[in-house]
Structure 1
Amino acid sequence: MTIFLILAPFGSFALLMLVTSAEISLFVAATICLAVIGIDVHRGRSIKMLGAGSVVIFAALGGYVAWVDPNLSHSAVKLTVDVGVLAISLVSLIIRKPFILQYALEEVDAETAKQPGFLKAVYLITWAWNAAFVLMIIGNLLTIYVPGLPLWSGLAIAFAARNSAVYFTAWYPRYRKTKYGTPPASVLPCIH
């Protein structure tokens, strides 16, 4: 369920961008981000850096499209969202609080969180997500700067990058548990 909630704003944004305006897509995604934050707060969990940052990105870009540049291309909007999410992730690494850590600490017991491999796993998974964000940015840049490239090619790159990161997020903790006998983190559970 956690991974569904984390990805719900981004999935709905991507789907809505195919059928409606950027403005509607951005504001709906911001609303879904707020709903996910509300669910976390209701469950007694922390407000996540990724969720809060995504609300700001979606809402600010939605406001820009609504009031400043309503003709901004769909590809440019998607590119801006992906760059914003990458920025959130990189800032989380710079301040030494990888965005994945907030999710991981809510899913593992205190003993697991103290293990030496736990932070290493969190950092590695965060870097895997950074790689996925970079690939999504490349897919968006290709649709902008390579005329005649089919729209689905950028979507295929984004889909493959995101799903690879989701797979790695589920696989790596199991791999570490098998190899070292200790679970470093079940960072984003329910991806069985």
Structure 2
Amino acid sequence: MGILLAFAPFVAFALVDRLVGPTEGLVAGALAAAVLVLRDRFGPRGQVKLLEAGTLLLFGGLALYAVLGGPAWSVIGVRLCVDAGLLAIVLATIAIGRPFTLQYARDQVAPEFWDQPEFIRVNTVISAAWALAFAVMVLAELALLTLAGAAAGHRHRRHRPRPGRRHQVHRLVSGPCQGGGAARRRRLDTAGKTSGCEVKPEQYFNSAKHSARMTGSLASRCCGPWPAWTSSSGSAPDNS
């Protein structure tokens, strides 16, 4: 029961984080950890357990950073920080030769078993199993965070306009009449004639004659020769 109660700050963080927000969840976890530390300090044995002290430092530090720094972290990001901190605490207790389950196990057995190598070895194995479970959680949250970042980057690339596309469309729509001044000056001929978009009246006339000639040729192929009264002058026949 004691070891399950030690995870109460993490339960409080998860509940408040889901209902309110990550910063409030971190504050709730820090308050719950402080209550556990005060209970151990002023309890019958007067000894603060390593897991509970590390939990208070973890939630207290993250809550202080969230309040003062105002980070824009995601739900998965803040949970990753909490679970990674818990994994670090458990690994640290194993590294110093005092696995975190050892203190809770001593509350359940007689004092003559506390320092036996077999008793310590069993608790080391149990703490390592907890560490493995926490490591799986951290890896899963890290994978989710990576996939979320990759998906966000893919959406950003899809909606980002391609460089030069607007300029190409503008050139296709505007045509040669919107050319730059340098390009228009290069099109000036030696006789001083106008160039670029300025078109003389006789150019319109010649273009119209060419279009009429092409239209008449196509019509004669499809519908036979033109009636006799049509001529190049464009006048109707005299019915008198």
Contact 2:40 2:48 in 1 (8 A): yes
Q: Distance in 2 between matches of 1:115 and 1:65?
A: 43
Normalising by structure 1, we get a TM-score of 0.71
Q: Distance in 2 between matches of 1:115 and 1:59?
A: 35
Q: Distance in 1 between matches of 2:32 and 2:96?
A: 27
Contact 1:75 1:144 in 2 (8 A): yes
Deviation at 1:8, TM superposition (A): 0.9
Q: For residues 120-153 of structure 1, what are the alpha-carbon distances to aligned partners after superposition, in whole Å with 9 as ceiling and x for unaligned? A: 11001010010011011022113212239xxxxx
Is 1:20 the equivalent of 2:56?
no
Deviation at 1:44, TM superposition (A): 2.1
Contact 1:65 1:72 in 2 (8 A): no
Contact 1:22 1:62 in 2 (8 A): no
Residue 77 of structure 2 aligns with an amino acid whose one-letter code is A
Q: Which has the larger radius of gyration?
A: 2
**2:132 equivalent in structure 1:** 131
Deviation at 1:70, TM superposition (A): 3.3
Q: Distance in 2 between matches of 1:70 and 1:62?
A: 11
Residue 146 of structure 2 aligns with an amino acid whose one-letter code is Y
Q: Distance in 2 between matches of 1:141 and 1:68?
A: 22
Residue 71 of structure 2 aligns with an amino acid whose one-letter code is P
Q: Distance in 1 between matches of 2:15 and 2:113?
A: 37
Q: Distance in 2 between matches of 1:114 and 1:29?
A: 33
**1:32 equivalent in structure 2:** 32
Return the structure number with greater helix share.
1
Q: Distance in 1 between matches of 2:6 and 2:115?
A: 25
- Gaps of at least 5 residues in structure 2 are 150-240
Contact 2:17 2:23 in 1 (8 A): no
**2:199 equivalent in structure 1:** none
- Gaps of at least 5 residues in structure 1 are 149-192
Contact 1:13 1:25 in 2 (8 A): yes
CA RMSD after TM alignment: 1.8
DSSP 3-state at the match of 1:147: helix
**2:42 equivalent in structure 1:** 42
**2:205 equivalent in structure 1:** none
Deviation at 1:12, TM superposition (A): 1.2
Query: How many equivalent residue pairs?
Result: 148
Q: Distance in 2 between matches of 1:58 and 1:108?
A: 31
Deviation at 1:90, TM superposition (A): 1.3
**2:186 equivalent in structure 1:** none
Deviation at 1:114, TM superposition (A): 4.4
**2:187 equivalent in structure 1:** none
Q: Percent identity?
A: 34
Runs of 4 or more above 6 Å deviation:
none
Normalising by structure 2, we get a TM-score of 0.57
DSSP 3-state at the match of 2:66: helix
Residue 125 of structure 1 aligns with an amino acid whose one-letter code is I
Contact 1:50 1:99 in 2 (8 A): yes
Higher deviation after alignment, 40-49 or 110-119: 110-119
**2:58 equivalent in structure 1:** 57
Deviation at 1:15, TM superposition (A): 1.5
Change (3 A) 1:11 1:95: same
Deviation at 1:42, TM superposition (A): 3.0
